[in-house]
Every structure is written in structure tokens, then in C-alpha cells.
Structure 1
């Protein structure tokens, strides 16, 4: 059963996103007004060291008033290569420059409302370049054993579903 988007109007727009109102035709022919958010792609990256520890950020998200572990991530700028954006975000937020980034997975975290795709990358080597330029992004950075990831997710220490999915994939690839 496919829904068809006949038309969209922008209701609100800023540098980060657009809120649109779509005229959608349902399979039975009825029309539905549906709000959606158009976002730029998000790129995220991390490194897994020889001890199978993953570099994570401890962050507070004011919107949900929650703390949790995350990978370095941010929006892909217009015209920017996704892998380049992932590497940039990792270095800006952690102070570690990744070497040889590889695609891990792409997810659509809320595809019933938002069109953004989150692209995850990882590597086995990174060079420390100094204190992170964007240290305001997190309270701390830490090397966390991948073997702890499933229990951390179960305890709610990795609350973001996209981050949990990427870390579970890394856990499976490295330890599974």
C-alpha cells in the first residue's frame, strides 16, 4: 500500500530544516494533510582500537533532558562528501582524526516524519590532534569496551536509537 505525495508547501524554514505540509493520497483515494520535516543528511564516525574499545561522547540532550553515550555526528554541509563530513565531525568533537573510514550503516531514524538519513562510519585507526574544537558538544570523551554496549543499551545509557543500532552493528562485526 503506497501513499502518494501530490504536493508540498513549506510552512517554516531555517538553516537547519524545513517543515512542509504535504497533500498525500492514501491507497483508498482519500487525501491526508501530513506534516514532514526535511533535513540535511547526518554523518557520524568513530574508531575502534586494538582493545575493541570504541570512542564515544557523553552528552546531555536538552530536548529530552537525557544523558547518554553517542558517536560524534553532525549535518553534512551542502556539497560536502558524506565520509568527509563524518571525519570532520569526529575530529571536531573528539580531537581524533580518523584514518581509513569505512561505511558501517545508513539508517532513517524517523522516516514517518523526517527524511534525514544518518550515515555511520568507522575505522580502526585515528590520530590524536589535540583537544576537540567543539568540546561544548559533550561533557567527556571515553574509550568504552564494545563488549559492554548491549548492557549499556539495556540500561538506557545509549538512548538514541540510531546510535544504539550503529554500536550494535559494530559489536556484532567485531565481537560477534
Structure 2
């Protein structure tokens, strides 16, 4: 069954996203007004060190009033290479510059409402460049044993879907 978007109009816009209202036709011919968010791509990155630990951020999300482990991530700027954006975000938020990045996965964490694709990368090396420029984005940055990832996800300590999916895949690839 395919829904058809006949047209949409912007009802709110800023530099990060647009909220649109779409006129959608359902397979049975009925029309549905559907709000959606148009968002630039998101790039995220982490590093796995020699001790098989992954670099993560511990942060509070005021929207859901929750704490959890996350990957360093942010929007891809206009004209910016996705991997370069992931490396930039990682260094800004952690103070670590990743080595060569490898694609991990691309996910659409809320594709019923938001069109953003999240591109996740990882590296096997990083260089510490100093205190993170965007330290305000997290309470702390830590090297977390990759072996703990499944338990952290199961306990709800990795609430962001993109981070949970990426870390579980990385755990599988490194362990399998």
C-alpha cells in the first residue's frame, strides 16, 4: 500500500528544519492532512580504541527529560561531505579527531514524521586535540567498553535509536 503526497506547504521554517503540512491520498482514496519535518542529513561518529572501548557522550535531552549515552552527531552543513561532517562533530563535541572514518550504517530513526537520514561512521583511531569546543552538549565524554553495549541498550541507557542501532551493529561487527 502506497500513500501519495499530492502537495505540501511549509507552516514553519528555521535554519535547521521545516515543518510542512502535506495533502496525502491514502490507497482507498481518502485524503489525510499529515505534518512532517524536513531536516538536513545528520552525521555521527565514534572511535573504538585498542582496549575495545567506544567513545560516547553522556548527555541530558530536555525534550524527553532523559539521560543517556550518545554518539557525537550533528547536521550536515550545505555542501559539506557527510564523513567530514561526522569528523567535525566528533571533534567539536569530544575533543578527539577521528582517523579515517568507515561507514557503519544509515538509518531513518523517525521516518513516519521526519525525513532526515542519519549517517553513522566509526574509526579505529583518534587523536586528542584538547577540551571539546562544544563541551556544553554533554556532561561527560567517556570510553565505554564495547562489550557493555548490549546491556546498556537493554537497560535504556542508550535511548537514541540511531546510537543504539549503530552501537549494536558495531558490537556485532567487532565481536562477530
Q: Equivalent residue for 1:68? A: 68
After TM superposition, give the deviation of residue 38 of structure 1 in Å.
0.3
CA distance in 2, matches of 1:162, 1:151: 16
- Unmatched tracts of structure 1, length 5 or more: none
Q: How does 1:6-155 map to 2 (within 5 A)?
A: 6-155=6-155
Q: Secondary structure at the match of 2:115?
A: coil
Q: Distance in 2 between matches of 1:15 and 1:88?
A: 19
- Deviation of the 1:132 alpha carbon: 0.5
Please, what TM-score do these two structures have when normalized by structure 2? 0.99
Aligned residue for 2:173? Answer: 173
Hey, what's the Cα distance between the residues in 2 that align with 1:162 and 1:113? 15
Distance 2:11 2:137 in 1: 30
Q: In structure 2, what is the Cα distance between the partners aligned to 1:142 and 1:18?
A: 34
The Cα shift of 1:15 comes to 1.0
Residue 156 of structure 1, CA deviation = 1.1
Task: Tell me how large the CA RMSD over aligned residues is.
Answer: 0.6
What is the DSSP-based 3-state SS (H/G/I as helix, E as strand, rest coil) of the residue aligned with 1:157?
coil
Aligned to 1:27, the other structure's residue is in SS state coil
- Offset of 1:28 from its aligned partner? 1.1
State the Cα deviation string for residues 15-60 of structure 1 (Å, max 9, x = none).
Answer: 1110000011111111111110000110000000111100000000
Deviations 1:53-103 (A, max 9, x none): 000000000001100000100000111110000000000000000111010
Aligned partners of 2:164, 2:94: CA distance in 1, in Å? Answer: 19
- Counterpart-to-counterpart distance in 1, 2:26 and 2:99: 47
Give the count of matched residue pairs: 176
1:13 is displaced (CA, Å) by 0.5
Structure 1 residue aligned with 2:156: 156
Alignment deviations for residues 132-176 of structure 1 (CA, whole Å, 9 cap, x no partner): 010001010100000000101111111111110000000000012
